[in-house]
Copies of this chain bind each other. A is one copy, B any other.
Amino acid sequence: MKILIDAMGGDNAPGEIVAGAVFAKSELDCELVLIGDRSQIEAVAEERELSLEGIEIVHTESVITMEDSPLVIRERLDSSMGIGIEMLKRGEGDALVSAGNTGALHAGSTLFVRRIPGIQRSAIATILPLAKPTMLIDSGANATVTAEHLLQFGVMGSIYMNNIFGIESPEVGLLNIGTEDCKGTQLQQDANRLLKAAEGINFIGNIEGRDIPFGKCDVIVTDGFTGNIVLKLIEGCSSYMMKEIKGMFTKNPMTKLSAAMMSGQLGAFKRKFDSSEYGGAPFLGIAKPVIKAHGSSNAKAIKNAVRQAISYSETGIIAEIAEQVKTVK
């Protein structure tokens, strides 16, 4: 098992990416390839006293930044991300992990690695934390979709949650503005009908915004516009509330003492909102495993993304999707 890692992608690259790779190498059974500027990678490793032994480095000085337009990937296949995509395509690695530009990674994966035959659109499948790990698919790749795309998202999400999280017959919900089948626009009404009729999916019907944090289902199906708003709103709510909680505990000596008494609980509370425990977001529908780690990933998040990439490759999810999509059309 060989995992390709874009060493230059993300807000904390290359430092945290390199550290994450070193942790992954020590804990997990796999080969690792770090793609990026060799001198920067080696400098970071030396500074942090990390050994790169057993980790292959593929050198490039070209980088795609977070601000670049997604389609830049077409002209910059010599970038750390571009080389990763090319190596994955050629079979010189089993999976690719990047914390870089989401749009470019998705565009590159679609253009060069291609989709699974029969899959009309690939989707960014983020695992939300909160009450329980819940997949939000699509969380941003496709701003407009058809009902059949939503059906395929449900199929793919279901297979992933079953294989990676071991959930028997994952519950699939359609994000909508009411629980009755007739609610929403024509898109949701059509998707509801298709999901209900599809075999092999445990469709529980529509779910509403307020159900999301409570883990009402395992897979939340939605278009990439709504999904992106939802994902970022949850991030915003979490960070707003953490800020307010911090303010509450630092108000005066009494509250500070109280915070000290609570410190263990506060740490556990904070972890409930930390999605890095689950690694990154798989691009479901792409013919080979691509994992998008969060832009702000630290070493732990990268290590978890590598672990996730290994499971993704080993479990045969992609073959199962290719098989099942033939029957649900």
Shortest Cβ distance from A119 into chain B, in angstroms?
Answer: 21
Shortest Cβ distance from A216 into chain B, in angstroms?
Answer: 10
In the complex, identify which listed stretch (A37-45, A153-161, A226-234, A285-293) lies at the interface while the others stay far away.
A226-234
A212-243 interface mask toward B, CB cutoff 8 Å, 1 = contact, 0 = none? 11100000000011101111111111111100
Of B212, B240, B261, the contact of A255 (CB 8 Å cutoff): B261
Query: How far, in angstroms, from A214 to B244 measured CA to CA in the complex?
Result: 11
Query: How far, in angstroms, from A88 to B56 measured CA to CA in the complex?
Result: 75
Question: CB distance A213 to B185 under 8 Å?
Answer: no
Query: How far, in angstroms, from A18 to B214 measured CA to CA in the complex?
Result: 33
Taking the complex as formed, is A27 at the interface, i.e. its CB lies under 8 A from any CB of chain B?
no
The count of chain A contact residues (Cβ–Cβ below 8 Å) is 50
Question: CB distance A236 to B209 under 8 Å?
Answer: yes
Within 8 A of B (CB), among A248-277: 248-249, 251, 254-255, 257-259, 261-262, 265-266, 268-269, 272
Question: CB distance B225 to A177 under 8 Å?
Answer: yes
Q: What residue of chain B has the Cβ atom nearest to residue A240's Cβ?
A: B213
Interface residues of A (CB under 8 A from B): 130-131, 140, 143-144, 175, 177, 184-185, 208-214, 224-226, 228-241, 244-245, 248-249, 251, 254-255, 257-259, 261-262, 265-266, 268-269, 272
For A208, what are the chain B residues with a Cβ–Cβ distance below 8 Å?
A: 229, 232
Of B213, B240, B268, the contact of A214 (CB 8 Å cutoff): B240
For A214, what are the chain B residues with a Cβ–Cβ distance below 8 Å?
A: 236, 240
Of B209, B232, B251, B272, the contact of A228 (CB 8 Å cutoff): B209
For A272, what are the chain B residues with a Cβ–Cβ distance below 8 Å?
A: 244
Taking each of A248, A249, A268, which has the highest tally of chain B beta carbons within 10 Å of its own beta carbon?
A248
Query: How far, in angstroms, from A224 to B213 measured CA to CA in the complex?
Result: 21
Question: CB distance A235 to B258 under 8 Å?
Answer: no
For A240, what are the chain B residues with a Cβ–Cβ distance below 8 Å?
A: 130-131, 213-214
For A257, what are the chain B residues with a Cβ–Cβ distance below 8 Å?
A: 261
Q: What residue of chain B has the Cβ atom nearest to residue A234's Cβ?
A: B237
